[in-house]
Amino acid sequence: MVVESDGTTLYWETAGSGEPVLLVMGLGMPATGWWRTIPVLARRFRVIAFDNRGCGRSGRPRGPYSLAQLVGDALAVLDAAGEQSAHVYGISLGGMVAQELALRAPSRVRSLVLGATTAGGAEHELPDDETVGFLRRRGSMPPEEGVWASIPYMYGPATLEQAPARVAEDLEQRLRFTPDRDGYLAQLAAAWTHDTSARLEEIGMRTLVLHGNADRIVPIANGRRLAERLPDARFHELDGAGHLYMTDAPDADQIVLRFLRG
């Protein structure tokens, strides 16, 4: 299904039934990045997922994009799905969008799940220099090469050594819709402007913050700080998990399911 939003089209899909959960994916990845999560949450909820502008099956207008645009896109998908409000689960860049959505339209957010993300601002802890260099180079890489080159940065060492089959399963999904260079850089520009650090106390809904302690893209100190500053948040550390923790920590989706069920 497709909806118009601020000069572009957004692909969205839904699965399951019950209370709605809106999934917002991270940098350069379409809704297929939720391929492990959707079947788990759809057992109890109506899951709504979409491709952010600039990737997958959505339109790819010229950038740079802003977080306000990405929030508007999320609301457009929620409207198209006929839902006045939903639980909102965002990972990485999607977690930044989820924070801004909760601030801009709190009546539309029932609860928040923030995965592998940050409040940004002056207190944000950057990755190591090697990882920062990779993030800057990736936008200029051929799409398939970029996906393969990202492996050491996206997964925990234990998964790479002991469960390479799980990484291979992910790659099959990630290579279905490889990142568009211009779309990736346009989304990255939005991520670099993110800063909710002075407004976190305004986010009053129940929140779960998930973070892997082997995350090289967004170091775990950012997740801890985020949870400490939110008024009604609990923090769950995923041992040995990297940025795509759903692959590293198979119990992560069950943790989210239990939280959403209250």
d(CA 180, CA 224): 32
Sheet holding 207-212, edge to edge: 2-5, 8-15, 46-50, 20-24, 86-91, 109-115, 207-212, 233-238
Number of Cβ atoms within 10 Å of the Cβ of 109: 24
CATH no., domain 2-260: 3.40.50.1820
Name beta bridge partners: 235. Answer: 209
pLDDT tens across the length of the chain (262 residues): 999 999 999 999 999 999 999 999 999 999 999 999 999 999 999 999 999 999 999 999 999 999 999 999 999 999 999 999 999 999 999 999 999 999 999 999 999 999 999 999 998 999 999 998 998 888 788 888 988 999 999 999 999 999 999 999 999 998 899 888 899 999 999 999 999 999 999 999 999 999 999 999 999 999 999 999 999 999 999 999 999 999 999 899 999 999 999 8
Which pLDDT score is estimated for 180? 85
pLDDT of residue 201: 97
Q: C-alpha angle 248/54/165, rounded to 5°?
A: 25
Looking at residue 139, its pLDDT comes to 75
Return the ∠ at Cα 231 (arms to 227 and 235), rounded to 5°: 25
Residue type, 139: G
Closest to 41 measured CA to CA, from 227, 225, 208 = 208
- Boundaries of every domain in the chain: 2-260
Q: What is the pLDDT of residue 150?
A: 93
How much is the pLDDT for 2? 97
Do 11 and 56 form a contact (C-beta atoms < 8 A)? yes
